[in-house]
Structure 1
Amino acid sequence: MDIKQMSLEITGENGTIYAFKVDDGFSVVNLDFDTSDKSLKFLDENDLSEFLMKNEFQFRGILHNKSRESFYKGFKLEFSLIDGKDITEFKNRENIIVKDKGRIFVISDKDKVSIPEVYTDASYDEVLSRGAFCVLRKNLDGVYESSEFFCNCQDSSSAELEAVIKALEVYDDDLRIITDSQYVRKGITEWIIHWKLNDWHTANGTKAKNIEMWKKLELLCENRRVEFGYVKAHNNHFENEYCDFMARIKRES
């Protein structure tokens, strides 16, 4: 996938309508975005405007996810879009997102290759600030390996992230990670691309959380194939329920 890097600046405001300027270093596009009805109007016609319109769903995702407080004149953001990215395929939770030696793409469950699967889940007690997680590997011969660990995190989301990191540390071959954390799955396959280009800032201009952990996870994904699948939590899925149970037992111990 080709990634285009750009800068965005809010150059003016009139009620709920904000004037934006987008620059890719070669062309500039001015546009208006109405925060009340989410309407988007392109004011210039050039190669950059054609690119933005072609990838409008991605671009709108950035605008729609911005907090109300981040809409003000002078706000600046470095961002990127993946040319031709199929948003529908990435959003389909039944699909598998693949990171393969620098490439990121989506495959359906029926097209998945034969590699070991690793299931992870964490259990975190916010009151006691205490958590643990379970890593369950299913080898190609159907044999399971289970390990439980205490975590060093301060919330449930980072505990889920730590569980996946540990799985990739313990096993250094190609893997399919199955997690019930969209935070982990989307973070490592989508959000991290934009965070890195923007000095680890989100579309709201705030620093991303768990930066060092994300850097470590990305490093562990290099030079091999790591697939990220999703399973809904507490939905009678054997491996996920097992990991949840063992993580809770470890945490309570």
Structure 2
Amino acid sequence: MAHEQDPDATGQYLQRLAADGNIEGCRFLAEQAQLGTTIPAAAARAAAESCTLLASRPTLRGYWRLEAAKILIRIDHSGGVDLCVRLAEDEPIRSDWRLDAAEAAVNIAVGCGASVFSGLAGDPTMYASARVYAALRVIRYDKEHAADLLVSLASNRGLSQESRVRAARSLVDLDPTRAATVCTGLLESHTFPPYLRIAILDLLTRLGDQPTEDLHEVFVLDTQFEGGLLGRQTPRNPHDD
């Protein structure tokens, strides 16, 4: 209404509101645009420039950079998607924010999902759980490549054990044959705690595999090792007494 009564004054006000990196002003303009309010082109450009400036500033906290990129998506789809992809690939930013940036980009540009999430799944600077999540998102685009990523993650000794088991669990329905191979390899490890070994054994059972008697021995807790370190326990011979 105000824009219709005095478009010049309103346009100048909205332009100032979005200028100089004012993220709240940019958010207001984005919300108005979504409500169907006519936003003057100069004000929209000012908001886009401010959001691009904020999202591209490496000294700014990752959360605010991501917020700026998300606001830009609502004003300029193409520019916002490009910024979100760049943020998803920006290693210093926290893993969960990088995933959030990827999701924001893919919501608008579905076609970039495979490459963005594959990159995150293979990025050693990402948290292990975030890498597994990214690999699972690849399933939507390329199941075979997603299976490759999950096998790699499950076999990666540098990742947390919980994340490796989660990757193996995700393979069960996606690629049962490779899942059985991965699970058998995990179960043979003496470093996994009993609760994770039980989870792996359950996965093998679901796959129809019957673990050998040797594999069952991995559940025995060797109390001779300090801190409950796991290993094989030799049965006591009663004749040794």
Return the TM-score normalized by structure 1.
0.24
Highest CA radius of gyration, 1 or 2? 2
Flag the structure with more relative contact order, 1 or 2, with Cα contacts below 8 A and sequence separation at least 6. 1
Answer 1 or 2: which has greater helix percent: 2
TM-score, length-scaled by structure 2: 0.25
